Every structure is written in structure tokens, then in C-alpha cells.
Amino acid sequence: MNSRRDFLRQVGGSALTLSLATTTFPEQAHALPADGKQLGVALVGLGSYADRVATAMKDCKLAKLIGGVTGTPTKIDTWSTKFGLDKANFYSYQNFEQIKDNPAIDAVYITLPNSMHHEYVIRAAKMGKHVICEKPMSVTVKEAEEMIAACKKANVKLYIGYRLHFEPYTRELIRLRKSGELGKILHVNSYDGFKIGDPKQWRLKKALAGGGAMMDVGIYCINGARYATGEEPIWVSAEETKTDPVKFKEVDETITWQMGFPSGAIASCVTTYNFNNLERLYVIGEKGFVELSPAFGYGPIKGRTHQGAMSWDTTKMHQTWQMDGLADCILNGKPDPNMTGEEGLKDMKVIEAVYKSIAAGGKKVSVV
């Protein structure tokens, strides 16, 4: 592809060039099983993010959108027309369990508000369907553990919507860390936030969101620092700032925190609902660095290393890579790229530690 050739010209001759020239990302490796089976998916909660996923799935090869679940009957006409879906494959929250009798649906993707993830993951598992759940996987560690247990009991897969684990720039950052080309990781800056709009939206209601900026986009900072170091944080220290106590009466606005890792690496992180232009993952190693900025949004992701600019194909939507990648895991047994329920649980443990540190006045709190 042209973007890769351009990149190789920029850094020609280096060890990094050789490594990138032989790297195969998931979007290049997907193949239908011998029986031609595609993974049939129903989206649960037909809001704006579900629309994004459905749009992205138009370009999928292994995953196919079959239907959806909604509490708004008028959306059935809209969605069936827009995405060419059979109205018989749509359900309400009341008759959700009828999906178990639909052989065309292999998996459901939960795109509901955070506090509803727990209920619908468990209900889906009991139907014998594989489950993809948008992040954060839950609003408490206890709920996350119950979701994992329910899916294991039902012998179904549980994946969390960490789309970036299939995104090429992120994959390359992880490869550079794993290969040792960065040397020992010493420090990580991980920032993500934006100025939130409508003060009446569900993300600002604790009963639906579970928390504010931390639950919504701060989780990217946590996950990013974890895949940048390849380690799990053992302690956190955090503080919260509120400039608008009315708008953010129920949830957090801005949080700054540090995370310590077993190797001695430190991550400095910020998340906010109060201002824009905050999106960066900067990884410093003994031998070099990687910077992704923007790092976590829908793209295009941009990046550079100590050897020059990174350049990968950004024409596909992240959700296309994600849905084909997860279908590959389910249909072909491909290794999971750290998107299981256990991965989501690890982030929930850090989030709870962050909130505990804030409640303790910023004192260092162990992640357990």
C-alpha cells in the first residue's frame, strides 16, 4: 500500500524499516473459514455509536450485521432501510431473549450506557451468544467479575470494545515495545479528554455513566499506559479538579493521576470533560520513543518515533478492523489481542483505585 512504501522511504535502511516491512496487521490477514461462515452480529442499543459500528461493518469481510435491539420502534424502519436489514431480526429489550432462537445471530454487541452493560452481557450469555461489550465493561469491579463468570459458565466469548488493539499505529507501538527496539520503558504520558456539550446527556448522570471523564475517555489513558509498558500498574495517586460544580455535580470533570509499574516505569495521565486538544500517548524507552497524537480518537491516528514519522493506512474505520478482527478470533481461533473480559477487568481495577485515591486526598493507593 502507498502509505507503507512512503514510510519505508522515510526510514530506509534501518532495523525499524526491516521490521515494518515484514509486519502484517490483522486487516491484511483475515480469511473466511473454509465453510464461508461470517459472524452474524446484532447491536444492542441503536444510538450514535451503534450507527458508527454498523457503518463500519459495511466493509467487513468476516463479520456481518444481522439486526439490532432497540426501545424505539421507529428505529427499526430507519435501520432496516439504511443498512439493508431484515425487520424480523430486530428485537425490543422486553423480548431480547428471543435472539437465542435466531441462528443467524452468533454474537451481540452491547452499546448501551455503561450501567446497563452488566445486565445485558449476562442476559446475552444465558442465551448462548458470544458477547462484545463497549468500554468501560462495567461501572464496578464486582460487576465486571460477574460478567466474566456468566460468560465462562455459558461457554461463550466475552470481548470488550478496545478497538485500538486492532488499529495499525497502536499495533506498531506495541510491536516496538515487545521487540525491544525501544529498550526498557521508563516513562509514559497518556492524555485524553474533550469539552463535553449537552449538560442533560446520559454521560453526565452517575446512574447511567458510573463516572465522568475517567469512565468515558480516561480509560483509554489507563489502557494505553498498560499496553505501552506491557505491565500492570501496582499503585496510583490521583486528584480531581472541578471548574463547573453544577454541570459536573454527579460525575468527575478533570482528573490527573500517576501510575507506578513493577519495573519502576511511571505513567503521568490526564483526562477531562472541560477542554479540547488533549489526546496523546508518549512512550519513552532507554533506546527511543514513540508518540501517537492523536492517539485514541476515531482517527486518523498519527505517530512518530525516534527514527521518523510513522505512516500506515488509515482509510478503514477502526470498527471495521475491530469487528473483522474479533470475528477472526471467534471463527478461526486467532489469538485475542487483549480484548477479553479479563482485560476490561484490569482497567476497572485501576479506575476504582483512582477514585479511592481521590477520596483519600490524593494518597497513593495499591491496585489490587
| Digit-coded pLDDT (tens) for 330-342 | 999 999 999 999 9
Are the CB atoms for 293 and 303 separated by under 8 Å? yes
Say whether both 151 and 176 belong to one domain.
Answer: no
Does residue 10 sit within a domain? no
Instruction: List pLDDT tens digits, range 231-268.
Output: 999 999 999 999 999 999 999 999 999 999 999 999 99
Whether residue 368 has pLDDT greater than 70: yes
Whether residue 25 has pLDDT greater than 60: no
Say whether both 131 and 246 belong to one domain.
Answer: no
Say whether both 150 and 44 belong to one domain.
Answer: yes
Say whether both 356 and 221 belong to one domain.
Answer: yes
Residues of the domain holding 361: 164-316+337-366
Please count the structural domains in the chain.
2
Q: And the C-alpha cell for 43?
A: 447491536
Secondary structure class of 339 (helix, strand, coil) = coil
Does residue 19 sit within a domain? no
Residue 290's CATH number: 3.30.360.10
Does residue 169 sit within a domain? yes
Beta bridge partners of 258: 237, 268
Q: And the C-alpha cell for 120?
A: 445485558
Q: And the C-alpha cell for 115?
A: 450501567
Annotate 175-228 with three-state secondary structure.
HHHHHCCCCCEEEEEEEEECCCCCCCCHHHCHHHHCCCHHHHHHHHHHHHHHHH
Kindly give, in sequence order, each residue whose CB lies less than 8 Å from that of residue 201, ignoring residues fewer than 6 positions away. Answer: none
Split at pLDDT 50, 70, 90, the class of 126 is very high
Say whether both 212 and 199 belong to one domain.
Answer: yes
pTM equals 0.91
The pLDDT value recorded for residue 22 is: 33
Say whether both 157 and 270 belong to one domain.
Answer: no
Q: And the C-alpha cell for 17?
A: 524499516
279 vs 40, 217, 359, CA distance in Å?
34, 10, 26
Amino acid letter for position 181 = E
For the chain, what is the largest distance between any 2 Cα atoms, rounded to a whole number of angstroms?
61
Does residue 327 sit within a domain? no
Does residue 154 sit within a domain? yes
The pLDDT value recorded for residue 314 is: 85
Instruction: List pLDDT tens digits, range 133-189.
Output: 999 999 999 999 999 999 999 999 999 999 999 999 999 999 999 999 999 999 999
Q: Measured on CA atoms in the order 273, 275, 277, 278, is the torsion positive or negative?
A: negative
Say whether both 119 and 230 belong to one domain.
Answer: no
Split at pLDDT 50, 70, 90, the class of 313 is confident
Say whether both 270 and 232 belong to one domain.
Answer: yes
Residue 113's CATH number: 3.40.50.720
Other C-beta atoms lying within 10 Å of the C-beta of residue 313: 14
The pLDDT value recorded for residue 29 is: 59
Look at residues 111, 140, 162 and tell me which one is the last residue of a structural domain.
162
Say whether both 231 and 355 belong to one domain.
Answer: yes
Which residues are marked as active site?
135, 220
* CA pair distance 208, 213, nearest whole angstrom: 13
Say whether both 124 and 233 belong to one domain.
Answer: no
Say whether both 261 and 176 belong to one domain.
Answer: yes
Are the CB atoms for 40 and 105 separated by under 8 Å? yes
